[in-house]
Amino acid sequence: MYVGKYIQPCTPELALEVGLNLRFEDKREAEQTTGLHAPAAVVQAHLNSTHSVFFKVPNGKTAGVAGVTSSHAIWMLCTDASTEYPHTFVKEAKRWIASLSNPYLHNYADMRNEQHIKLLKLLKFNFLNYTVYNNVPLIEFYKLCVPQP
């Protein structure tokens, strides 16, 4: 798993820090899809992951956390700092995803979270189906990570 200047292994304390400082859209998505208070949802996501990382941006601010579960579900939740250095953030996210050994990655994203939908497109994820869960409009996404014949 990729670790670099702006990406480090996550801890419950770092997950809590992000959970307390989420972007409005990420907080809404976390709370409405899990039924948990945002900080608890972020810590729970970290604990449910086989791999999780903590993102920073060049000014040292906390940008977000991301992880992958044993069922290949990828997730990411961000603070406002993630928008301060968008090119660095996307470049580091690409490196981290490329370093994962999962054969594929998948999950659902809140369609109202435009920053995450844009990021998923930049990271070359494909979109499948629309659904509604807890009155949240979701879009299913996936990415094949192994070379295909």
Supply the CATH number for residue 134's domain.
3.40.630.30
pLDDT category of residue 99 using cuts at 50, 70 and 90:
very high
1 part of a folded domain: no
Q: How much of the chain, in percent, has pLDDT values that exceed 70?
A: 98
2 part of a folded domain: no
133 part of a folded domain: yes
Domain that holds residue 111: 7-144
Instruction: Give the chain's domain count.
Output: 1
Report pLDDT digits (tens) over 65-83. Answer: 999 999 999 999 999 999 9
65 part of a folded domain: yes
The answer to whether the beta carbons of residues 23 and 66 sit under 8 Å apart is no
Residue matched to tokens 């807890």: 134
64 part of a folded domain: yes
149 part of a folded domain: no
The answer to whether the beta carbons of residues 68 and 74 sit under 8 Å apart is yes
Instruction: Please write down the HEC assignment for all residues of 51-108.
Output: EEEEEECCCCCEEEEEEECCCCEEEEEEEHHHHCCHHHHHHHHHHHHHHCCCCEEEEE
15 part of a folded domain: yes
Helices 24-34 and 38-47, interaxial angle, to 10°?
70
